[in-house]
Amino acid sequence: MLELHAVTAGYGAFTALWDVSLRVGQGEAVAVVGPNGAGKTTLLRAISGLIAPRAGRIAFEGAELAGRPAYEIVAHGIAHVPEGRRLFPQLTVAENLKMGAFLPSARAHFRESLERVYALFPVLAERPTQRAGSLSGGEQQMLAVGRALMSRPKLILFDEPSMGLAPVMVLRLFDLISRVREVGFTILIVEQNVRQVLKLVDRAYLLEVGRIKIEGRAADLAEQDFVRQAYVGL
């Protein structure tokens, strides 16, 4: 479904990704793990169009997406739940979700999408008029995911969703993400919490200093060495 081929990307004079290739198949859940500064966030930003890659190809369901602007890429069916959630703090829960369905194609099915999101995250249904900035960390993450779902995507990119959450919330979060996956979405998740995320996904990549070092099935990788490598980068 999603194919990256030899993607190189960075900011200004600094290159964060070198020659990265990976793929995500339809219905799969794939993780990209690695230590801080490995370039994981850059990877997702390149896919969703917030930055343009310097080299390489990004293909999604046959369409070439590299270098296209973000608002075009989301129309192709890729939703990005950004690092730090990036909710609109002064807008209400309902307004945030409304913005998620900005695309004309999403607006047409607004009611349907909204009901599905409220079903998945009943907490949001309880407080639609609350300012997003005043929600708790866990609620904010749910809203961010819900907002991404409103655009009726095919592939969802998660950037460090567990960041800043209490351990109990993290468990609940991954549970929710797996439910999202069960409903039929394809998932690409970038995480530092390696142990937890490996329980959730089918395959994983290890990204280190901008390059893919290891790739494999989650079950195979869930052993000591890989986890240590992902955390410490040795």
Partner 1 sequence: MVDPIFLLEAVVNGILLGGVLALLALGLNLIFGVIDIVWIAYVDLVTLCMYGVYFLVSLYGWPLWLAGLAGIGIGALLGVLVHLLIITPILSSPPINQLLATGGLLFFIQSVATLLWSTDHRSVRVSLPTLEVGGIFISFTRLLAFGLAILAMVALYLFLTRTYTGTAIRAVSQDREAIALMGARPQRLYLVTSAVGGAMAGVAGALLIIQYAVHPYFGGAFGPLTFMICVLGGLGNMVGAFAAAFIMAQVISVGGVLVSTEMGYVIAFVIFIVLMFVRPGGIFARRA
Counting contacts by CB under 8 A, is residue 107 touching partner 1? yes
**Minimum CB separation from partner 1 for residue 179, in Å?**
22
Torsional class of 64: left (φ above 0), alpha (ψ -120 to 50), beta (otherwise): beta
Contact 215, 205 (CB under 8 A): yes
**Number of residues lying near partner 1 (CB under 8 A):** 28
Counting contacts by CB under 8 A, is residue 25 touching partner 1? no
- Can you tell me which of 6, 27, 64, 71 binds partner 1, judged by CB under 8 A? 71
Q: What angle do CA 202, 205, 210 make, to 5 degrees?
A: 160
Counting contacts by CB under 8 A, is residue 131 touching partner 1? no
What are the distances in angstroms from CA 145 to CA 89, 121, 126, 190, 200? 15, 9, 16, 14, 16
Residue with tokens 């997702």: 44
Select from 27-35, 58-66, 85-93, 201-209 the region that touches partner 1 (CB under 8 A): 85-93
Residue 143 CA to residue 156 CA, distance in Å, equals: 14
Counting contacts by CB under 8 A, is residue 187 touching partner 1? no
Return the H-helix or E-strand segment holding 108. Answer: helix 104-108
Counting contacts by CB under 8 A, is residue 186 touching partner 1? no
The token pair that represents 163 in the structure block: 């960041």
What length is written for the chain?
A: 234
Counting contacts by CB under 8 A, is residue 11 touching partner 1? no
Counting contacts by CB under 8 A, is residue 152 touching partner 1? no
Nearer to partner 1, 61 or 202 (CB): 61
Please report, as ranges, the residues that interact with partner 1 according to CB under 8 A.
48-50, 69-71, 74-75, 79-80, 82, 86-91, 95, 98-103, 106-107, 147, 151
